[in-house]
Amino acid sequence: EDQVTQSPEALRLQEGESSSLNCSYTVSGLRGLFWYRQDPGKGPEFLFTLYSAGEEKEKERLKATLTKKESFLHITAPKPEDSATYLCAVQAGSGGYQKVTFGTGTKLQVIP
């Protein structure tokens, strides 16, 4: 059974204090790993797709990396507007419909 585990569950940072969120996964035949941002009361918003180990993608203060067992979302010098829940998801399998499994998220709070 595919599993996606995110840690920590919650993270509180001072503005400017860099840190990383972790997404570890156990799947058979990874096709892609996704990061989403979810603000309170809203739907998840797509951030990145990573396809293979060693790949990195950046967007503003966010940088996502991927290894064979986990992904990290690095947040550099965060601002209060980066406060949100960050979700990780993996797509795995081959042929036909490939299931996407979501983690439970890391709730990030950035304090001014």
Rounded to whole angstroms, how far apart are CA atoms 1 and 64?
A: 25
User: Binding of another protein at residue 97 (CB under 8 A)?
Assistant: yes
Least distance (Å) from another protein to the CB of residue 93?
Answer: 11
Rounded to whole angstroms, how far apart are CA atoms 90 and 93?
A: 10
Comparing CA positions, the residue from 101, 84, 82, 103 lying closest to residue 22 is: 103
* Footprint of another protein on 75-94 (CB under 8 A): 87, 89, 91
Segment interacting with another protein (CB under 8 A) among 18-26, 40-48, 58-66, 72-80? 40-48
SS (H, E, C) 18-52: CEEEEEEEECCCEEEEEEEEECCCCCCEEEEEECC
User: Binding of another protein at residue 68 (CB under 8 A)?
Assistant: no
User: Binding of another protein at residue 34 (CB under 8 A)?
Assistant: yes
Among 28, 43, 81, 112, binds another protein (CB under 8 A): 43
Residues that bind another protein (CB under 8 A): 4, 31-32, 34, 36, 41-46, 49, 51, 87, 89, 91, 97-100, 102-105
